[in-house]
């Protein structure tokens, strides 16, 4: 029998109906499980948990990792007989509820419950309750506080009134400057079968003597209010008071009951669906929709309101409003259902873009009527708008893309938790005659080396030779450079004024209430796409990973050019040469162009080993069978690189460089398509 654990409790908060599928994880697909290892590397949650054990000096006999309910509880009971003890993974059971507390600190009759989370926290700005309504838990921290409240409730019930249980949330404090170098590298994330675990490096215990970057924040009073049912969000969140919810959900879970609920906007986010990554697994999402929305098999192929683009502010509740009107399918949505956006910007307004998506997806000619002047073979391209924008661009054009990380545990001394680290960039140049070259790149592979200032120096060197327009895709590059500007300002770097002036020249920022744009403020290609281009295959996304295949499938000229292996030979590259020249265009069986990110080389391909040899690689090389095809994998790879041996470091570096190069080449493809359409 499975008991109602804290992970099951969190699942119930998301959706009680999903408990049935969460219980039967052996048979029901769960897309949240697919990237656990990469996510653990990227986010550092496991590392934070192990550092907390170091801080609390948890002894080996008090670190309970056995999986058996009864054995864990028995060991915990014996340890709690001591007057003072710190226990990791202490086990408690009350009725059908079972929890393992991250850390228990026992001092006589008081138990301090320490729940450790990797969530960043700034005590000077952040709050556990809403500033406008102190009786409500702040939505940004709600899941974490409720998790602790559930544990406090179970422990107090299990131990009885003779023991006082006080609750704390331990999180990385963003205001703390680390005085220890390489905290992150003391806690190596590895796969242990199907589980993710930590290998603690020798010497980690000395971190106890440095400034603690994790702080326990007192949430006991708030947890007590939640348990008593005295916070204002409970009815909306759970439909009842806290203790009633725990009783009901634990019963549903343990007895494996199938509790169906009316369809809501959270159903669009349900992870319990099957796809090509989970062959043979059952599809819980499909079961729910069939039961509660009377869906037939054909309905799952129909575009739904869940596919609608709802980016930018002002559209967060749109899907909820549509469902409340009973409008599940896009074909049900009318023009009046889409709130008009404020006027002011050039090109498509957000509301226009939603109507355009619905019209092209459903073939609603009435909805498409005002967009028809800019429709070209079923693709929206605002040629006059693009021409006006492109007339302001100055050659040579520079396409840049950054890879960065914000890990919970700092890589370097003199850094705060979740402080930005810019470890890589790629740079393509386009000349006025259309000549393209991969002009430069940067990647920090040195361990225990803070790269940000060197990163900006190299970027400055590559960009300051002319006054051409610089492009980024989305706001990330602007945000990163402004963060480094702050780091420089607080530093004693001898050239900091020159570097800060350079950053000011290519970014925009606020000076008090005044918006300031640099003389070469970067052009955001994402904004250009959002205003002037839409392909039906993009659905509700403007990600470059989605825009790229749409554009490649729209242009026969680009296909003809890049189906030949000219990249690395005719088009110079820092990572491909004539011997390894790349044809970016490949075709699927249906004749469509495949996404080039699917064909990036795996890390193993740079290790020069056979698949059989790869199976015997140690834990440092567990990413070897992966390709780096998205930003999450890139920052996971950089994290892995901090622990790797020389051979694996070289392979990770080569994979990272090719991935980032494709990011800026994707921006080149977008420009080539825009030039073709406006010629």
Region 440-453: mean pLDDT is: 92
Q: What percent of the chain has pLDDT over 70?
A: 90
Region 110-129: mean pLDDT is: 96
Domain match, 236 and 171 both: yes
Return the minimum-mean-pLDDT range out of 146-150, 310-314, 543-547, 613-617: 613-617
Higher pLDDT: 68 or 62? It is 68
Q: What percent of the chain has pLDDT over 90?
A: 76
CB-CB contact of 558 with 567 (8 Å): no
| Torsion, CA 417, CA 420, CA 421, CA 422, rounded to 10 | 170
Q: Which domain holds residue 76?
A: 44-245
d(CA 153, CA 220): 11
- Helix (H) or strand (E) segment spanning residue 429: strand 421-430
Domain match, 217 and 351 both: no
Among residues 245, 268, 285, which one ends one of the domains? 245
Confidence tier at 37 by pLDDT (50, 70, 90): very low
Closest to 649 measured CA to CA, from 605, 607, 602, 599: 607
Per the domain annotation, does 159 fall within a domain?
yes
Domain match, 185 and 332 both: no
3-state SS assignment for residue 259: coil
Residue-level pLDDT at 406:
85
Closest to 292 measured CA to CA, from 328, 321, 245, 243: 328
Residue-level pLDDT at 195:
67
Domain match, 236 and 333 both: no
Residue-level pLDDT at 640:
76
| Sheet with 110-116, side-by-side order of all strands | 84-94, 97-107, 110-116, 164-172, 214-218
Closest to 663 measured CA to CA, from 628, 622, 616: 628
Domain match, 212 and 334 both: no
Per the domain annotation, does 580 fall within a domain?
no
* 476-511 per-position pLDDT tens digit: 999 999 999 999 999 999 999 999 999 999 999 999
List strand residue ranges (DSSP E) for 473-609, in order.
508-511, 514-517, 523-524, 533-534
Higher pLDDT: 367 or 604? It is 367
Of 184-193, 338-347, 399-408, 457-466, which one has max mean pLDDT? 457-466
CB-CB contact of 549 with 537 (8 Å): yes
Residue-level pLDDT at 570:
97
Residue 523: pLDDT over 90: yes
d(CA 677, CA 679): 6
Helical axes 142-159 vs 220-227, angle rounded to 10°: 80
* 571-582 per-position pLDDT tens digit: 999 999 999 999
Among residues 177, 211, 245, which one ends one of the domains? 245
Q: Which string of b and e fits 371-383 if b means at least 16 CB within 10 Å? A: beebeeeebbbbe
Residue-level pLDDT at 59:
65
Among residues 389, 408, 429, which one ends one of the domains? 389
Residue 424: pLDDT over 90: yes
Return the minimum-mean-pLDDT range out of 28-42, 335-349, 391-405: 28-42
Closest to 73 measured CA to CA, from 86, 91, 96: 91
Residue 277: pLDDT over 50: yes
Higher pLDDT: 196 or 80? It is 80
Higher pLDDT: 637 or 374? It is 374
Strand partners, 380: 375, 534
Per the domain annotation, does 95 fall within a domain?
yes
* 343-383 per-position pLDDT tens digit: 767 899 999 999 999 999 999 999 999 999 999 999 999 99
Domain match, 219 and 326 both: no
Domain match, 106 and 185 both: yes
Residue-level pLDDT at 313:
44
Residue 605: pLDDT over 70: no
Residue-level pLDDT at 35:
52
Domain match, 237 and 328 both: no
Structural domain total, the chain: 2
Domain match, 137 and 232 both: yes
Domain match, 229 and 357 both: no
Residue 42: pLDDT over 60: no
Residue 337: pLDDT over 70: yes
Per the domain annotation, does 322 fall within a domain?
yes
Closest to 644 measured CA to CA, from 410, 447, 408: 447
Per the domain annotation, does 184 fall within a domain?
yes
Per the domain annotation, does 358 fall within a domain?
yes
Residue 66: pLDDT over 70: no
Residue-level pLDDT at 636:
72
Which two three-digit tokens encode residue 147?
Answer: 């998790």
Domain match, 225 and 326 both: no
* 555-573 per-position pLDDT tens digit: 999 999 999 999 999 999 9
Domain match, 168 and 76 both: yes
Per the domain annotation, does 477 fall within a domain?
no
Mean of the per-residue pLDDT values of the chain: 90
* 209-256 per-position pLDDT tens digit: 999 999 999 999 999 999 999 999 999 999 999 999 999 999 999 999
Per the domain annotation, does 337 fall within a domain?
yes
């Amino acid at each position: 029998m499975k008991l109602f654990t804290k992970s099951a409790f969190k699942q119930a908060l998301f959706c009680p109906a999903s408990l049935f599928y969460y219980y039967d994880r052996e048979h029901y697909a769960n897309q949240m499980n697919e990237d656990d290892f990469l996510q653990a590397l990227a986010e550092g949650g496991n590392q934070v948990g192990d550092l907390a054990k170091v801080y609390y000096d948890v002894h080996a006999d008090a670190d309970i990792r056995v999986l058996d309910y009864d054995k864990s509880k028995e060991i915990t009971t014996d340890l709690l007989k001591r007057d003072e003890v710190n226990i990791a993974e202490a086990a408690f059971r009350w009725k059908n509820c079972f929890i393992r507390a991250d850390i228990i600190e026992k001092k006589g009759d008081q138990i301090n419950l320490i729940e450790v989370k990797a969530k960043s926290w700034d005590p000077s700005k952040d709050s556990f309750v809403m500033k406008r309504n102190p009786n409500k838990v702040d939505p940004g921290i709600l899941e974490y506080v409720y998790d602790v409240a559930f544990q406090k409730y179970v422990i107090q019930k299990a131990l009885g009134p003779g023991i006082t249980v006080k609750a704390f949330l331990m999180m990385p404090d963003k205001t703390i400057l680390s005085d220890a170098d390489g905290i992150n590298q003391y806690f190596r994330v590895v796969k242990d079968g199907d589980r993710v675990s930590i290998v603690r490096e020798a010497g980690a215990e000395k971190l106890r003597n440095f400034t603690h970057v994790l702080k326990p924040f007192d949430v006991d009073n708030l947890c007590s209010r939640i348990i008593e049912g005295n916070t204002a969000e409970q009815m909306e969140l759970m439909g009842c008071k806290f203790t009633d919810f725990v009783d009901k959900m634990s019963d549903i879970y343990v007895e494996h009951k199938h509790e169906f609920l009316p369809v809501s906007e959270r159903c669009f986010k349900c992870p319990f669906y099957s796809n090509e990554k989970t062959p043979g697994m059952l599809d819980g999402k499909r079961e729910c929709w069939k039961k509660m929305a009377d869906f037939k098999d054909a309905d799952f192929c129909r575009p739904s309101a869940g596919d609608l683009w709802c980016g930018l502010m002002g559209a967060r509740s749109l899907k909820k409003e549509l469902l409340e009107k009973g409008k599940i399918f896009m074909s049900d949505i009318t023009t009046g259902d889409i709130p008009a956006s404020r006027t002011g910007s050039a090109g498509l307004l957000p509301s226009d873009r939603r109507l355009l998506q619905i019209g092209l997806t459903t073939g609603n000619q009435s909805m498409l009527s005002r967009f028809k002047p800019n429709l070209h073979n079923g693709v929206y391209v605002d040629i006059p708008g693009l021409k006006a924008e492109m007339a302001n661009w100055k050659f040579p054009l520079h396409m840049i893309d950054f890879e960065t990380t914000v890990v919970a545990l700092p890589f370097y001394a003199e850094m705060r938790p979740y402080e930005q680290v810019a470890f890589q960039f790629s740079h393509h140049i386009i000349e006025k005659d259309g000549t393209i070259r991969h002009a430069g790149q940067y990647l920090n592979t040195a361990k225990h080396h803070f790269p940000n200032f060197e990163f900006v120096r190299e970027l400055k060197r590559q960009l300051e030779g002319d006054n051409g327009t610089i492009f980024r895709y989305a706001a990330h590059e602007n945000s990163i450079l402004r963060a480094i500007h702050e780091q420089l300002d607080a530093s004693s770097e001898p050239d900091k004024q020159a570097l800060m002036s350079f950053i000011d020249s290519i970014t925009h920022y606020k000076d008090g209430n005044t918006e300031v744009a640099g003389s070469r403020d970067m052009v955001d290609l994402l904004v250009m796409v959002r205003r002037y281009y839409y392909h039906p295959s993009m659905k509700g996304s403007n990600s470059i990973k989605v825009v790229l295949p749409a554009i490649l499938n729209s242009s026969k000229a680009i296909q003809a050019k890049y189906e030949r292996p000219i990249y690395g030979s005719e088009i110079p590259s820092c990572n491909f040469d004539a011997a390894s020249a790349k044809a970016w265009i490949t075709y699927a069986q249906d004749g469509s162009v495949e996404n080039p990110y699917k064909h990036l080389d795996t890390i193993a391909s740079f290790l020069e080993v056979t698949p059989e040899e790869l199976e015997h690689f140690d834990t440092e090389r567990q990413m070897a069978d992966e390709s780096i095809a998205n930003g999450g994998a890139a920052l996971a790879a950089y994290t892995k690189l901090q622990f790797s041996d020389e051979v694996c470091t070289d392979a990770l570096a080569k994979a990272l460089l090719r991935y980032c190069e494709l990011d800026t080449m994707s921006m080149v493809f977008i420009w080539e398509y825009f030039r073709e359409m406006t010629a």
